[in-house]
A and B are shown apart, each in its own frame.
Chain A
Amino acid sequence: MTEMTGAEMVIAALADQGVEHIFGYPGGAVLPIYDAIVQQDRVNHILVRHEQGAVHAAEGYARSTGKVGAVLVTSGPGATNAVTGLTDALCDSVPLVVLTGQVPTHLIGNDAFQECDTVGITRPCTKYNYLVKTVADLPRALHEAFHIASSGRPGPVVVDIPKDIQFAKGTYFRPKEFQHRGYRPKIKGDLDKIKEAIDMMAVAKRPLFYTGGGLINSGRAACDLLRELVKLTGFPITSTLMGLGAFPAADKQWLGMLGMHGTWEANWSMHDCDLMIAVGARFDDRITGRLDAFSPGSKKIHIDIDPSSINKNVKADLAIVGDCAHVLEDMVRLWRASAVVPDKKALQAWWEQIGTWRAKNSLAFRNSNEIIKPQYAIQRLYELTKDRDTYITTEVGQHQMWAAQFYQFQEPNRWMTSGGLGTMGYGLPASVGVQLAHPNSLVIDIAGEASVLMTMQELSTAVQYDLPVKIFILNNQYMGMVRQWQELLHGKRYAHSYTEALPDFVKLADAYHAHGIRCTHPGELDEKIREMIDVKKPVLFDCVVDPAENCFPMIPSGRAHNEMLLGDAATRVEDAVTEEGKVMV
């Protein structure tokens, strides 16, 4: 209990919550907080170039560490620029606390300079938000913000602090109890339902684990328990984009990612399974495709911490509300204790069926000696970085899907991507946050040339703080995914998806005092990727790739899992060798 100003309380609360780095941008309405920041060394401030970058950097920091990301921006445009990042964090359940300055309380509602209704604007894109109207409420609001952001289904919380509150003096304290008695996320799953789940799993003939980002949010323990349960049961497993890394891609029970650009085997397994065990995944439209044709013959067990995720899109036969680490722990224990004997014969037949789907080799592409295929570039990037301590972020589009398909994630928290909102421009600032959290690791933003231009200015942040992030741009001069949809769905009318005037990325790197590399030929790719890794500076890698390449497999939106489009290099159905499939089990 100490007397201090509101601005000092902000620092005290951040430090008490273990915040090491806060990403921000100063302005009139947060000057008192910046004045407090510069006079202490407990919380390190990272100056970004745009508030959206601050939020994405905090997201990268949060997703790669499991901690809460912290952001500080000013009122008005500072707050509105943060909105995209907030929405992104809400969609992908990323724990953030975003502090916004506000005009003094007596000016609120007067259309003051740089005033906006921050709590009004951010209400639908935050998990919760506060407008602090007296300094006495500030300590509680700050600490509750961290609690709400990180507990239950995580998400972003905004605390809007008027400038006079930052100057006002009050008593700082760390509240012991939580004011919102109605907010009690359910952590432990209902044991009877978990028993029922085990019974359903014991008799399943064609079971499948369908896992998502909830596992990453739940933490390392959840991922370890999942691995144990998958091993114990011998069931196949697939994952959403957000869940990559929870289960190792090198494992033979892994079917690859599912969904719109998922593998043939993952999507067909979803379609044909008789028991789907969804863990921390939310059946979104990129996963289900056409809802009325989604996995028609299966019983569905849905484990999620958020009751509103259950029965939202797909009816669950058995719903278990709880944190997946706790639920999986009970499942592993009960599975062992009940000494279940799964139907070995049925499982073997199921794996044989999966083997025939695998034999389709749905990710196959026609490589070239003349031009770099984007898939090949990611394959080489993976091969040359897999033995290192590597973190991958992405932008949004074709390159993101190729990264998800071809970069093999063995561990959680290594993959940072904008899944729900699909925010172009996420990857570069996110990589800044990741690199800051892991200064000695290799952090690569797999980017597209269109996306990366949206937040290119954060390269300047990376240079300022000596963060040697590698921006690996698959440059096809197109908004590739837009171009692909126009080719397949809009009669090849490529409306405004081609960027006619791109910067010279090597010169641009020079201008930012970073390192630029251009690669145009498959033969020089390995050598240049090695150069990228070795340079101890931020790198812009301009990888000039085939502009016409499409990302397959693809389930056109609104179609069913068994209506997947394949690239011409994949094995045709009639050619699929069943012998090969059998060998793989």
Chain B
Amino acid sequence: MVERTPILNFFTHLILFVGFVFCVAPFVIVAIAASHNLKDVNDVPMSMLPGSDFWINIKTAWTTADLGPKLLNSFIMAFGVAAGKVIVSALTAFSIVYFRYPGRMLIFWLIFITLMLPLEVRIVPTYAVVANVLEPYQTIMDLTGLSWLIEKISGVQVSLSLGLLNSYSGLILPLVATATGTFLYRQFFLTVPDELTEAARMDGAGALRFFVDILLPLSRNNMAALGTIMFLWAWNQYLWPLLITTDQSHAMAVTELKQLIPNVGGAPEWHIAMAGTLIVMLPPLIVVVLMQRWFVRGLIATEK
């Protein structure tokens, strides 16, 4: 350090340590509460020494909330969203950066605006769309007279209908439909030297070849960062899965937590609730710890 400041250093350590304790305490308390039995967890004050019922509680929470399939659903959805974002965003950014076509700026802005309105504020109509994902197209055909025309000519009445409630596509697609990753790729593509493109073209590479063999391998870091952040984001989604999975077989781990809230009458089973919470908390926590570098990088890059 630049100078000696023993008193200030002491307070620096003290404050940081207090911050550390407040940050870690909830994790510790959840883990300890998950190891107690019904009586100990409701003791005032609760003992901070771990009890002996940890695995029993984990097992009970696992079966009560049926967490096995729910965790699998969460994984499928989170991987789906992460993969979808990584792929779709790369394609779009490539199109915006490497081509000149009329309406390119319009497309850029159409995508950019989606950053403004998160899914949470437009849940009601998005839900209606997912209930019948072809409804927009049906309405357009009705309004333009296209369906009338088709009915006149072929005698077939057009009624497009494809419900995505209680399906993985219904869960995943609306979450992919924002611009978060597109701008991450765009900023990166803009820094790729033009000489690389020239060289590739001189060697006879077309657009697709250049994209797959040069641009994508160069973007590996960005893909890791975006994938990590999107995986966590999707895993932690709550409102959307809550709405569209009315059927238990498609429910997510995070939404299942609600089943574990102790009811008001009777002794509150906090030990089970905390065991369930621990299970649901763990996967994202592991991802953050193992992928910390990508996580931080993705967070800073996607928000800017």
Chain B binds chain A: no
Residues of B participating in the A interface, judged by any CB pair closer than 8 Å = none
* Interface residues in chain A, defined as those with a beta carbon under 8 Å from any beta carbon in chain B: none
